[in-house]
């Protein structure tokens, strides 16, 4: 079919999630942000590695384990070097690993500050449907309806009406898909009957 305006939105959180922990220095429950530094500790032939987090109020530290009691011989030399120099790319992959942080900290605070980079994949002259593919290099905790309401000229209640009418489809299909967190690879198809609404949504989807 030749009636598609297909765009891809790449969504990246601008700041990594923070850990919510009880700070042993100031005694309160506080957000901890990554310091960007890793620490290695040798214990005989075994290594421990951490990413250091700091309390936003008092600089009290929390060591997020990367691994514990790892034999030096089994360690990838490239990983060892990254840990020794706190290599920024490697550190970022840990910082933005929301599930990994949650597993260690229990509670986290997700960044809601997200950068969106839009790219038009296909633009048929007589397009009637809008396809939006989501690409998420790192997971983020944003709900799909919040994302769409922020980026398209459609309110959350309007989105819900369209979704229930089948004019908005989400693949892979999930129950209450609009109210779920966004995922990499999700395809949203909007089949808007109202022309003015369709054109406005298309412009916004392209980042106009």
Does residue 29 touch Zn ion according to CB under 5 A? Answer: no
When binding is defined by CB under 5 A, the residue of 51, 55, 130, 192 that contacts Zn ion is 55
Nearer to Zn ion, 60 or 139 (CB): 60
Q: Does the footprint of Zn ion cover residue 117 (CB under 5 A)? A: no
In terms of Cβ atoms closer than 10 Å to its own Cβ (0-12, 13-18, 19+), residue 87 is: middle
Phi, psi of 148 (to 5 degrees): -65, -40
| 12 beta partners | 115
Name which of residues 60 to 99 contact Zn ion (CB under 5 A): 60
Q: Which is nearer to Zn ion, 21 or 130 (CB)?
A: 21
23 binds Zn ion (CB under 5 A): yes
What sign results for the dihedral spanned by CA atoms 27, 30, 33, 39? positive
Cα 118–Cα 120–Cα 124 angle in degrees, nearest 5 = 150
- Candidates 26-34, 67-75, 128-136, 148-156; binding stretch for Zn ion (CB under 5 A): 26-34
- Alpha carbon of 188 to those of 84, 178, 182: distances in Å? 43, 10, 11
User: Contact between 132 and Zn ion (CB under 5 A)?
Assistant: no
Nearer to Zn ion, 57 or 176 (CB): 57
Q: For binding to Zn ion (CB under 5 A), which residues are involved?
A: 23, 25-26, 55, 57-58, 60
């Amino acid at each position: 079919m030749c009636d598609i305006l297909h765009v891809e939105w790449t969504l990246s959180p601008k700041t990594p999630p923070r850990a919510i922990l009880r700070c042993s220095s100031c005694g309160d429950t506080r957000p901890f942000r990554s310091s960007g530094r890793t620490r290695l500790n040798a214990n005989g032939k075994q290594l421990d590695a951490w990413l250091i987090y700091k309390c936003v109020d008092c600089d009290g530290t929390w060591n997020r384990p990367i691994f514990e009691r790892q034999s030096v011989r089994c360690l990838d030399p490239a990983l060892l070097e990254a840990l020794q120099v706190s290599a920024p790319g490697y550190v970022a992959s840990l910082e933005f690993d929301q599930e990994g942080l949650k597993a260690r900290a229990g509670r986290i605070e997700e960044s809601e500050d997200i950068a969106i980079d839009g790219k038009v994949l296909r633009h048929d002259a007589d397009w009637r449907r809008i396809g939006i593919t989501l690409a998420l290099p790192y997971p983020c905790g944003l709900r799909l309806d919040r994302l769409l309401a922020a980026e398209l000229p459609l309110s959350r209640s309007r989105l819900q009406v369209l979704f229930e009418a089948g004019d908005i489809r989400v693949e892979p299909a999930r129950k209450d898909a609009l109210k779920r967190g966004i995922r990499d690879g999700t395809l949203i198809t909007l089949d808007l009957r109202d022309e003015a609404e369709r054109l406005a949504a298309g412009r916004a989807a392209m980042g106009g």
